[in-house]
Structures are given as structure tokens and as C-alpha cells.
Amino acid sequence: MFWLLVQLYVSFFKIGLFGFGGGYAMIALMEHEIVRIHGWLKPVEFVNIIAVAEMTPGVIAVNAATFVGYQVAGFTGAAVATLGVIFPSLLLIIPAAKLFLHFYTNLHFQRSLEGIQPAVIALIGLAAFVIAQSAFIDLFSVLIALAGFAAIFLTNIHPLLLIGLGAVAGMIIYL
């Protein structure tokens, strides 16, 4: 059990350390560590945990770490994984903030940030692709996603209402 907790901490520490771009960009890193490297969860289980982490209040990376840690090693695993994912931020945020304020007007620094942004978009796109592989189980699931996508762009629908409508559609179609 001790070795499993160490692996959980190290894995989520890496995710927290290299998760540039926030929680959604971290999803691809999480999937790689949790599903591919360690095999702690099946792809469908991982997608379900990400869905729950998105719906619950708080930071998606912290929520996902807590849920995965709990799934793998109970309450202690949840605590260890959560500490692992937040500790890099605690270590890096103050020096990073000082550096950011110092270099913010530097042209080279600004250009490097412009280069990081598309890379983060690629990570978010990869996360969407990974989730889509498990979420699109049939034509109905694709139609629910397309309807939700259209609703977001064509109306002023609140995201929570969209999630609720998706849940209702899932109950109607799949029960």
C-alpha cells in the first residue's frame, strides 16, 4: 500500500508540475499517467471521473486527483493524490508571480507566452479527443454532444442547465 501511495503522489505531482494551461490541459497528462502508464483505471472509468470532476465545485485537476486517489487507494489515496497535484503550485506560484511581474514587459517573454498558448490548446484538444473516444458510444451520444455544442454557441444557455439537460437526455435515451 505504501508503494501505491508513493506512486499516486509522484504521478499527481508530475501532473501538477507540468499541467500548463489549467485543468483541461492536464486531462491528457492525467489520462496518460492513470490509464496508460499505471492502469489504475479503464478509459471509461477515467472519463466518468473527469465528468464528475467537471460537475463538482472546485478545480477540475484537484477534483479528479481526489476522485482517482479515492478509487485507487481509498481516503488515504484521495488525500495523497490531492496533495500531489496541488504541491507543485504551492512551490511555484510565488516565484512564478515574481518572475512574471519582472519579465512581463520583456518582448521575448511575451513571445514565449504566445507560443505556449497554441500548445495549451493542443493539450485541451487532446483531452477532448480522449474523452470523446469513451463518451461517443452511439449516434445518440453524438447527437447530444452536437445539440449541446449548438446550444452553447447559438444561445445564452447556462452551462449547468446544459449539463442538466444532458443528464435528462441520457436518462430518457439510455434507461
- Average pLDDT value for residue range 2-29: 86
Instruction: Return the amino acid letter for 154.
Output: L
Coil, helix or strand at residue 83? helix
pLDDT at 24 > cutoff 80: no
The torsion region of residue 71 among left (phi > 0), alpha (psi -120 to 50) and beta comes to alpha
Q: And the C-alpha cell for 126? A: 487532446
Report the 3 state secondary structure along 11-76.
HHHHHHHHCCCCHHHHHHHHHHHHHHHCCCCCHHHHHHHHHHHHHCCCCHHHHHHHHHHHHHHHHH
pLDDT of 158 reads 87
Report which of residues 68 and 55 the model is more confident about.
Answer: 68
- Average pLDDT value for residue range 111-117: 87
Per-residue pLDDT band for 63 (boundaries 50, 70, 90) equals very high
Tens of pLDDT along 121-162? 888 888 888 888 878 889 999 999 999 999 988 998 888 888
pLDDT at 45 > cutoff 80: yes
Q: How far is CA 124 from the centre of its chain?
A: 9
Tens of pLDDT along 75-91? 999 999 999 999 988 88
Spans of all domains in the chain: 2-135
pLDDT at 20 > cutoff 70: no
